[in-house]
Structure 1
Amino acid sequence: MTDLKVLVVEDEPLMRERLVEMLHRAGATEVTEAVDVASARKAFDAREYHIILLDLGLPDGDGHALMQEFKERREAQHIVLVTADDSIESIQRAISAGANGYVVKPYSQDKIHDVINNYAVVHGGEGAVLEGLNRPH
């Protein structure tokens, strides 16, 4: 996998900046940023992404509802929810609603590598782990 496109939907500027940086370090070739539901919809309509990292708490709507909308429009879309809520109930709700993963903030480089590798394994088949992955030793 050499051309990885990711949509980051995160309203907190510092968290978004950190996440984008980690994605580039992990091998993402194109990262599009959205700060709310409206800009996420616009980005989603404009192109297809391999992975969408979607914050649950957005200023103009609910991340769960947006995930459902995206999944209805593109059933196979790989969506990973991100939030500070690490409760079992929240994780179960996300997975049962169709999330392909769940990352608890704060972001770490290892968590981001895991998200990308999980996508690669699920959607890439044989030899799916990203080549040249810059995982710290």
Structure 2
Amino acid sequence: MENLRILVVEDEPTMRELLKDMLHQTGATLVVECEDAASARTQFQNEAFHIVMLDLGLPDMDGHELMQEFKQINEQQHIVLVTADDSIDSIQRAISAGANGYVVKPYSKEKILDVVNNYVMMHGGQEDALRGFSRR
């Protein structure tokens, strides 16, 4: 899982740090952290990421709306929503809106590893998945 680039958008510092640590344990080489939609938008427009881990409850925007913005920029972007809401309605809404996955807090190492493994299985070589998506 070398060269895996992940954007983490999570407003809670403790959860963001936990998620970053778990992602590094999976072999991700670059994990960029953002605490709100505004900073995430800037990072997303300037860098290419294999996976975006996106919290639904951001202070400045709903995570569903931000996911739609990201999908308009790159409809193939692999986005996994993270939230404390484990209702069937929320999960169905996320998947039907284009999310590639849904992780309920609190995070477990196994679930985060599943997210990364799912991406790798879907996309094979990570380098190929980013080809053509450079935003610089």
Opposite residue 94 of structure 1, the aligned amino acid is A
Percent of aligned pairs with the same amino acid: 70
Where do residues 11-30 of structure 1 align in structure 2 (5 Å cutoff)?
11-30=11-30
Give the AA of the match of 2:64: H
Q: RMSD of aligned C-alpha atoms?
A: 0.8
Alignment partners' CA distance in 1, 2:19 and 2:2 = 19
Q: Distance in 2 between matches of 1:9 and 1:116?
A: 16
* Counterpart in the other structure of 1:42: 42
> In structure 2, what is the equivalent of residue 132 of structure 1?
none
Residue-by-residue CA offset, 1:39-74 (whole Å, 9 max, x unaligned): 000110110000000000000000000001100110
1:66-121, CA deviations, whole angstroms, 9 ceiling, x for partnerless residues?
00110011010000000000000000000000000000000110011000000001
- Letter in structure 1 aligned against 2:62: D
Matched, 1:121 2:121: yes
Aligned to 2:89: 89
**TM-score, with length taken from structure 1:** 0.90
For 2:84 and 2:29, how far apart are their aligned partners in 1? Answer: 26
Query: When the two structures are aligned, how many residues end up with a matched partner?
Result: 125
SS where residue 76 of structure 2 aligns? coil
In 2: Cα distance, 1:44 partner to 1:64 partner: 15
Q: Deviations over 1:24-53 (max 9, x none)?
A: 011100000000000000110110000000
Q: TM-score, length-normalised on structure 2?
A: 0.90
**Consecutive unaligned residues in structure 2, runs of 5 or more:** 126-136
Following TM superposition, by how much is the alpha carbon of 1:2 offset from its aligned partner in structure 2, in angstroms?
Answer: 1.7
Specify the code of the residue in structure 2 equivalent to 1:51. I
SS state of the match for residue 116, structure 1? Answer: helix
Q: What is the rounded CA distance, in whole Å, between the counterparts of 1:98 and 1:45 in structure 2?
A: 19
